[in-house]
Each structure stands twice: as C-alpha cells, then as structure tokens.
Structure 1
Amino acid sequence: MSATEGATEGAARAGEAEVEQGAPVPAPAPASPLWTVAGLVVVFGLAALVGVLTDAVPAATEGTGFGRVAKSIEYPVYAIALGFAGNAVLSLTGVRQRMAAAFRTEFFIKIGLVLLGATINFAVVARAAGPAVLQAVLLITIVFLFTWWFAGLLGLDDKLRALLASALSICGFSAAVAAAGAVEAKKEQLAYTATLVIVFAVPSIFLLPWLADLMGLSPAVTGAWIGGNIDTTAAVTAAGAVAGEQPLQIASIVKVTQNALLGVVAVLLTLYFAVKVAPAGDPAGKAPRFGDRRSLLMLWERFPKFVLGFLLASVVATVLAESLPAAVLEPRLDAAKEIQVWALTLAFVSIGLEFNARSIKESGWKPILVFAVATVVNLVVGLALASVLFRDFSF
C-alpha cells in the first residue's frame, strides 16, 4: 500500500469515527473474511447490474420521450445510484460496516485511471491543431483558478475546493478522482462532487448543441465549445454527435487535450498541498523548506503514484500505436477499455456504498452554488476562447 493510500484510508477511518455532537461513539463492527466476501459479492453484483441497465434502459425506452435522455445517461449515473440504494439497504439491515472492507474505492479507481491513460494517445495531442492545445490550457487555468477562488470566498474546505475546481475545469469524474488522490480528500467529498458532475453534465448534452445552433456558431467553434465545457468525455461525445460529425471531431480533440493535462494538474495539486500543509503539520515548528531533502521526500510520499501509471500507459499506447498494425493493437486496447470501465464501475458503486449522508448536511448549499456559478463562467470563457481560436478553422 502506498503512503497516499494509507493516508486516505486513515482519513476515511477517522471520518467514520465522527458522530453527531453529543452522540456516543459506536463500537466498530467486527470484520471477518466472510463479511468481506459478502461485500465483494454485493459490489460486483451491483456493477454487473449497472452494465445491464446501461444497455437495457435505452433499448426499453427507444421511441419514447425518455429514450433520447436514456441514451445519454452514462454508467456512473447507474453505478452511484445503485451504490446509494445498496448503502440504504445494508444500513437498514445493520451489515454495511461489517462489509466495509470490500468497498475498496481507491483501489478500483486507481486501476481504472491507469487504464484510462492507455486510451489517451499523446501522438493525437501532438498532431492536434495549436488552437486546441491553447484553448485547453487557458480554459483549465481560468476555470480552475476562478472555482478555487470562489469556493474559498464561500469558506469551503481546501480539499473540496480542489475537487470542484478539477472536475469543472478538466474532465469531470476522472479529474475529481485524480484530485482526491492528490489532496487526500474524503470519500464523501468525492461522492458529492461526482453527483454534481452528473447533475450538470446530462442537461448540457442537449443544451449546448441547441445554443450553438441558435447562435449560428460554425462547426469548429461549436465543437471546441462543447469539448471544453462539458465535464465528462462520454457526455462530450454524445453532445458532439448531436451537433454533427465535424463538431464531434473538434470536441474530441479538445477533450482529449484536457484529459492529457490531468496528470499535470494532479502533480501541481500535490505540490501545493505538500508545501501548504507542511508548516502546520510539523509539531516542532520546523517544517521543511521546499527544495530540501525533507520536503522532497514528503512530496514523493504524498504524490499519487497512480499518476505515473497513467502517464506511462499513455506513452506505451502511443508507442504501440506507431509500431503495431491497427488490427493487432485495437483488440487489446478495447480489452483494456472494458477492464477500465469495469474498474471505474466498481469504484463508483463503492463510493455510493461508502457514502455518509452527513457530508451533504455539512457541505450545505455552498458547493452547489460554486458549481453553478463556475459552470456559467466556464460556458462564457469557453465560448469566447472557441470563437477566437477556431474562427478561421476549416475542415
């Protein structure tokens, strides 16, 4: 287990020990291998049901008013919803804590993110037009800093600020997960952020193509706007498909460029939190200065090691794409993609199962306001950048 995993799980155990003011601290439920196996059966069973629902709901509702919406609902929606439902049932029966050892959110997420790197070919990014790269860098920087500032203005916890800013400015679920590993955020904060991503991303699939058509935007500007503003890659693909083939191409390039910057943001967050927390965390008042051996060791301990796996997988995929025939490589990448989806499905189910409802009460309405305001800023800045950078783009 890495230092990051240990610290995160330690924070989780500390969070589980928290109770309402005045309430006695409950004794921890005894864990046993049988309960852990039972918990794994629940996690994998719910994940399998997610796959069934993802395919069955659109087919069953085809031709109805809900059919178009059902096609755009991503697997994390079902995974988190089923995790919440399982949480409620297991809590009512009093066995959720006994099964808690099976709800390995961090483990499943890190597998999924490393495999996600294999789907991002840096050669594609390198060949992408300069405007796509420039828009991604500028939009991530502006939206991240605004969200961070506005959340701080409302007094939100730094870790939650990091999750909200990362999810809004980069790529939704995956960015929030990477940020959570970097800053050692609580699982409840990650679940809350993931829920906000879902709530805001699904309507955007239809809203942005409609607004682009209403404003008479060109296909390239439309695609750049969609790719830069909708949080999740799957929702970007869906919205691009609604807008047309050419907008879909540009939207995909911009979103892939943003995804490629995920590791960079995770590293910067790790650096910021390591330097910021170091003085307060040194009981002797002798916190290491940045750049000396102690600070570098602390930075390495807090660095999310899965980011290296993410970057390495992307590099390997890029090299293989240039050296192997597509007929040989694509089946293997498809297999990696299927495992990635399974791992992230297990992770999001586990998040729902581990979720503590007190986090919503503690966070209140402020994170929702931050997400809403920052989304509007993202839309306005994204449209301005897309209009300037892609106005002369031709296919």
Structure 2
Amino acid sequence: MSAVASPVSKTKFALTEDWTVVVLGLLIIALSLTGLLIPAPSFGWKDGHELFTNVFAVKNGGTILAQFFFTYGIALIGSALLNKPVRATLLGFPIIFGLTLLALILAGNKTLKDLNLEAVIFSLSIGLIVGNLIQLPNWLRAALATELFVKIGLVLLGTTVIFGDILKAGSLGLIQALVVVVSVWYFAYWVSKRLKIDDELTMMLASAVSICGVSAAIATSGAIQGDSKKLSYVISLVLITAIPMMLLMPYAAQALGLSPEVTGAWLGGTIDTTGAVVASGSLAGEEALKISTIVKFSQNVLLGVAAFAISVYWTYTKNQTEAAQTSKPTLGVIWERFPKFILGFLAASLLFSFVLSADTVDAVKGSLKSLQGLWFALAFTSIGLETRFADLFKADNRRPLYAFLIAQTFNIFITLAIAYLLFS
C-alpha cells in the first residue's frame, strides 16, 4: 500500500484495490489463455556487444514494447477501476516502466547475475536514488501504485503454485502464523508501552511488525480510527526496515545452512511487506519463494480476525467518544479486512492445478512468469520512489523507531525457531 495517498475523483463507481487486483490478474490470465501471449524478452548480456545484439535487437525490442503497452493498458484500467486520476497514470507509468527497464537490463548482466543480484534489487535501488535525490512532482507520486503492482504479480504467481503445495505448506504456515502473530504482537505492545508510546501508535506498530506490515497498520488504523500522520510514519518504518531484511536474510539463511522450506517459512513469517517477501524469496530460490509466499498468505488470512479483535478491544476499553461507546463491531469486519487478492491467487492456482491441461499450462507459463516478474519489478521501483529516509531521524520519532526495531529483532529469532521446528 502506498504511503502517499492519491487524489480520488468523485464518481459513482469504484472497486477496492484488492478486488481490482483480482479482476486485473484474472483478466491477464484469461487473455493469455485466449491466445494473447507476449513472449518473455531477453535481458542477458556480458559485454557491450551482446547488449546491443541481444537486448537492443529489433525483435527483442519489439517484445519489450509489447510488454510495455500491455502493462500500460492494465495499469490504466486499474486506475479507472479504483477511481484514481487516469491522467497521472498516463503520464507517470512510462517513467516507472523506463526506470524498471533500466533495472532489468542491469540485472541481466552476467557479472551481476553471478552475484545473485535480482532485478527487484536494482529496481528498488534505482527508485530509492531517484526518490531521495529528486523532489517528485505530484502527478508522478499519484501514478505510484506499489500494492496494485505487487498484488497483480502475486495473483499471477498463483499460476506457478500447485494447490497441493498450498494445502501442505499452508497448514503449517497457519500454525506458524498463529504462534508468531500472538507472541510478536504482545512483545511489541509491551516494548511500546515500556517506551511510553501512545496507545494509537502502539496498536499500529504491534500489528505492523507481527501480522503483515503495511496492510495490518492500515487495517488497525481503520479499526481504531487512528491518526493518519501516525499511520504514515508506521508505513515508512515498515518499508524502510524491510529493505535490509529483504537483502540480508536470504544470505543469512544460506550461511546457517537452512533448507529452502525453512528459509521460505522464515522469510514469509518475518518480513513485513508482501512485496519484500517476494523479492527476498526470489533471492533464496524458487522453492523458498513458493513457501515464503504461502506462509505470508497464512499471516494475511489472520488480518481480518486481528482487525476485528482490535476493533472490539478498542471499542470496549477506550470509549473515547460517544460513537465509540455505541458502535458494536460485527463479523462483517473480518470479511471487510480480509485481503481479497488471496482469492485471485487461489483461483489461479486451482485453475492451473486441476482444470487446464498440461499442454495448455506449458504454452502460457513462460509469458505469465515473465509478466509476473515485471509487475514485481515495477512495484519495487515504486517503493523506492515513494520511500524517504529523512523522517526516521527526527527526534520525535526515535522511541517508536526503537520499539519497532526491538520488536522486529525478536520477530526474526522467534520466527526462525518456529520455522525450523515446523518445516525442517
């Protein structure tokens, strides 16, 4: 979820972001199955000669342009469905794509590829450099749609995950999620209160570090009608701390000799943003990526339950206003807070696991996997562009920063222990 709110025009119809992601993800899959297949472009090169004869070749350039216009169209449809300014996407998306294309070309270099540096690292780095050195115009900020991009990629990821794997790893992931969420939430709450952080910020911090980062912070803020400035700060904390964790944890797992399953469970249970989990899982390998995504989904499932519990707690204990005293949370809150994009992921997985023939799957999987990687890279370019470091170093923000870092450290160790017990 973007930390920067986009202006919304007033019309009679707009989908929520998660439902929009489901529609767009399944639309891409449907178009592929009906024959609209965009070949995966090549970005591999080892010297200047190969760069021009391979990456910048006419045929490959045409494929890159085809991907651009396809994703451009999907992004514009997304803006329209979300009732966001289409003009901003019309102007801003080509810039985001251009920066992402630069990242993909850098990642295709043989020397860098041998260092296991994935495209998402370059897209994130380029976004951070541009976003922190240049004051972005409002229309470009309005075009950033991190969660939309990454969740489209996640729906497409469902086409590569066999449903049997979800049932197997998901049950273990749900057990891990229950233990981790409860233990880390209470530890984060305790640390925050010890550091005399106010109740609103404490609830947002505890939910963000224990459940699923940005989405949990937003859901918690909605449940307690929290201050938007505090919410923005927590979102910034989540995004910025996810960066070093995303980059370092796969190498730490390798140094510890963890299996791909344990690595994936550790990454999925610890890193707070879904996009960062995907990027980190990509660094650790395909099996780790699948397990980390499934485990993260298991935590996401708990978001609605957590939001409902928090809203009940806040309503019956704080009683700050007359409205708070009289409002009674209902079970509908669970469905309202449930991350709907998971339904798209599951639908794609069921379709490719049980409905389509093996020949059909083989025919479309290359194109869909390439588009999946492109959406993830676009998301991380957007994360970099919208993330600024300066706010973390203000004196007023040090105590929440300390609380978040302490809780996250606890999260890393407790999740590693639980993942090792369940997945080794």
Q: Which bracket does the TM-score occupy, shorter chain normalised?
A: 0.5 to 0.7
In structure 1, how many angstroms separate the alpha carbons of the residues matched to 2:415 and 2:126? 34
In structure 2, how many angstroms separate the alpha carbons of the residues matched to 1:203 and 1:354? 22
Counterpart position of 1:55:
108
Counterpart position of 1:176:
213
- Cα 1:51–1:129 shift into 2, 3 Å: closer
- Cα 1:138–1:223 shift into 2, 3 Å: farther
Counterpart position of 1:85:
129
Give the 5 Å matches for 1:1-395. 9=6, 37-56=90-109, 59-61=110-112, 68=115, 71-73=116-118, 75=120, 77-91=121-135, 96-128=137-169, 134-135=175-176, 137-154=178-195, 155=197, 157=201, 158-166=203-211, 175-180=212-217, 182-183=219-220, 186=231, 189-212=234-257, 222-230=259-267, 231=271, 232-236=277-281, 238-239=283-284, 254-275=291-312, 284=323, 286-291=325-330, 296=332, 299=333, 303-304=336-337, 307-357=339-389, 359-362=391-394, 364-366=397-399, 369-370=402-403, 372-385=405-418, 388-389=421-422
Which secondary structure state, in structure 2, belongs to the residue aligned with residue 52 of structure 1?
Answer: helix
- Cα 1:382–1:159 shift into 2, 3 Å: closer
Question: Sequence identity of aligned pairs in percent?
Answer: 20
In structure 2, how many angstroms separate the alpha carbons of the residues matched to 1:152 and 1:40? 42
Partner letter of residue 208 of structure 2? L
In structure 2, how many angstroms separate the alpha carbons of the residues matched to 1:349 and 1:325? 36
8 Å CA contact 1:108, 1:346 repeated in 2: yes
How much is the aligned-residue C-alpha RMSD, in angstroms? 4.3
8 Å CA contact 1:125, 1:256 repeated in 2: no
Partner letter of residue 378 of structure 2? L
What residue ranges of structure 1 are gaps of 5+ in the alignment? Answer: 12-31, 167-174, 213-218, 242-247
What residue ranges of structure 2 are gaps of 5+ in the alignment? Answer: 9-84, 222-227, 272-276
8 Å CA contact 2:204, 2:220 repeated in 1: yes
Counterpart position of 2:224:
none
Tell me how far 1:199 sits from its aligned partner.
0.6
Tell me how far 1:79 sits from its aligned partner.
2.9
In structure 2, how many angstroms separate the alpha carbons of the residues matched to 1:42 and 1:357? 22
In structure 2, how many angstroms separate the alpha carbons of the residues matched to 1:51 and 1:335? 16
8 Å CA contact 1:117, 1:313 repeated in 2: yes
8 Å CA contact 2:169, 2:295 repeated in 1: no
In structure 2, how many angstroms separate the alpha carbons of the residues matched to 1:134 and 1:36? 41
Which secondary structure state, in structure 1, belongs to the residue aligned with residue 213 of structure 2?
Answer: helix
Render the CA deviation track for 1:210-267: whole Å, top value 9, x for unaligned: 234xxxxxx7xx455423323324534644x6xxxxxx86x56753541331431221
- Cα 1:112–1:389 shift into 2, 3 Å: closer
Which secondary structure state, in structure 1, belongs to the residue aligned with residue 239 of structure 2?
Answer: helix
Total equivalences in the alignment:
325
Partner letter of residue 202 of structure 1? L
8 Å CA contact 2:247, 2:280 repeated in 1: yes
In structure 2, how many angstroms separate the alpha carbons of the residues matched to 1:313 and 1:129? 13
Q: TM-score, normalised by structure 1?
A: 0.64
Instruction: Say which is worse superposed, 259-268 or 102-111, in terms of deviation.
Output: 102-111
Tell me how far 1:381 sits from its aligned partner.
3.1
In structure 2, how many angstroms separate the alpha carbons of the residues matched to 1:162 and 1:194? 14
Partner letter of residue 60 of structure 1? T
In structure 2, how many angstroms separate the alpha carbons of the residues matched to 1:273 and 1:188? 20
In structure 2, how many angstroms separate the alpha carbons of the residues matched to 1:188 and 1:112? 26
Render the CA deviation track for 1:1-29: whole Å, top value 9, x for unaligned: xxx99x96579xxxxxxxxxxxxxxxxxx
Q: TM-score, normalised by structure 2?
A: 0.60
8 Å CA contact 1:181, 1:304 repeated in 2: no
In structure 2, how many angstroms separate the alpha carbons of the residues matched to 1:382 and 1:33? 42
In structure 1, how many angstroms separate the alpha carbons of the residues matched to 2:291 and 2:139? 44
In structure 2, how many angstroms separate the alpha carbons of the residues matched to 1:378 and 1:177? 16
